[in-house]
Amino acid sequence: MDRLDAMAILVAAVDAGSFSAAGRKLGVPLPTISRKVADLEAHLKTRLLVRSTRKLALTEAGQAYVAACKRILEEVGEAETRASGEYTIPRGELTLTAPIVFGRLHVLPVVNDFLSDFAEITVRLRLADQTIDLLDEHVDLGVRIGDLPDSSLVATRVGVIRRVVCGSPGYFAVHGTPQAPEDLAKHACVTFSAMASDASWAFKSSSRQTKLIRPACRLHVNTAEAAVDAAIAGVGITNVLSYQVARAVADGDLSIVLAEFEPPPIPVHLIHAQQGLLPLKMRRFLEFAAPRLRRSLLASHMKLGGADR
C-alpha cells in the first residue's frame, strides 16, 4: 500500500464529504477510493470513518489521524519543493471563521490584504456568531472572543474588547446621564440577542466583584446592530461590545457612560487545532494577521477615547 497516496485519498474524501465526490475531484474510480481507505483502516486496525448515505463522519481516531495526514502531506510537499530547488510558495485554501460583525470590521480587511500578498492562497471566510467546532467543520483558524476553556486548541492573543454602556447625546440631554449602574432603573434601555426580558447587565463594584443590574428595558432586538441603531435614534441606553459602537462613538452619535464600572476586558484570540509544525499557508496567515488584528483592535479602542482598560 502506498500510504501517502492513501492518506491523500482519505483527506480528499473527508474534504469533499463523500467517496464519489472525492473520486470526481481526483479522477479516481469510486471502488479505488473505497479500497484505499479500507486498506488504510486495516493497516491501522481502527475505524476512521462512519459512512452513511448522506455524508462521511470522522471517528475520534479519524479526526486526529486526518489532521496528522494534512500536516504530513503539506510537509512532504514543502520538502519536495525545497529538494527540487524551487522557491517555496504558500498555496492552497484556508478556511477561517469569526463572529459576524467582528469578522466584517476587523478580519475581512486583513484577509483582503493577505490575498493581495499571497496569490496562490484562497480563503473561505465563514462569519457566524455561533461557536464552530474547528475539527468537525474542517476549519483551519478561528477568532474567539471571550475566555478560552481548557482544550487542545492553540491560541494567539491579539487584544481585548470592552463591554460598554452607551446612548445618544440627545437622549442624555433629555433624560440625564446615569452616574452609577443603579441609575439605569430610571432609564429606558435596549437589549438584544439571547437576552431575556429579565436579563442582567454586569458591572464592576467598588469591591471589584461583579455586580448584576437588571435594566428597565423598553426595546428587545435580536442583533447588536439593531440595538446600536435604536440607541442612536434615542430610544434608550444599550449595552454592547466596544467594536460594535466604535464608529458611532467616533462620529459623535453615541456616548459611553459608566466606563468606570465596566467589567474586565474580554480577550480576543486567533485559534487553531493543529499542534507542532503548521502548514505553510497557516503559518503565513498567522504571521500576517496577528499584528494587523492587534493594530486594528487598538485603533478601535482609540476611537472610544482610550486604550485597554
Q: Compute the residue count for the chain.
A: 309
Contact between 277 and 71 under an 8 Å Cβ cutoff? The reply is yes
Pick the CATH number of 163-261 from 1.10.600.10, 3.40.190.10, 3.40.50.720, 3.20.20.110: 3.40.190.10
Model pLDDT for residues 129-171, shown as the tens digit of each residue: 888 888 778 899 999 998 887 677 889 999 999 999 999 999 9
Please check whether the domain covering 92-161+266-303 is classified as CATH 3.40.50.720.
no
- Domain definitions of the chain by residue range: 3-83, 92-161+266-303, 163-261
Contact between 5 and 36 under an 8 Å Cβ cutoff? The reply is yes
- Class for the domain spanning 3-83: mainly alpha
Select from 226, 161, 162 the least CA-distant residue to 190.
226
Cell representation of residue 63: 479526526
The reply to whether 3-83 and 163-261 are identical in fold is no
Per-residue pLDDT for 193 more than 80?
no
Contact between 76 and 3 under an 8 Å Cβ cutoff? The reply is no
CA 189, CA 240: separation in Å to the nearest integer?
12
Alpha-helical segments (H) within the chain: 3-16, 19-26, 30-44, 60-83, 100-102, 108-117, 169-175, 224-232, 242-250, 280-303
pLDDT band at 88 (very low <50, low <70, confident <90, very high): low
Contact between 285 and 278 under an 8 Å Cβ cutoff? The reply is no
Contact between 43 and 3 under an 8 Å Cβ cutoff? The reply is yes
Select from 243, 242, 241, 236 the least CA-distant residue to 217.
236
Contact between 108 and 125 under an 8 Å Cβ cutoff? The reply is yes
Per-residue pLDDT for 196 more than 50?
no
Instruction: Report residue 300 CA to chain centroid gap.
Output: 18
CA 267, CA 263: separation in Å to the nearest integer?
12
pLDDT at 308: 41
Please state the φ and ψ torsions of residue 94, each to the nearest 5 degrees: -110, 130
pLDDT band at 284 (very low <50, low <70, confident <90, very high): very high
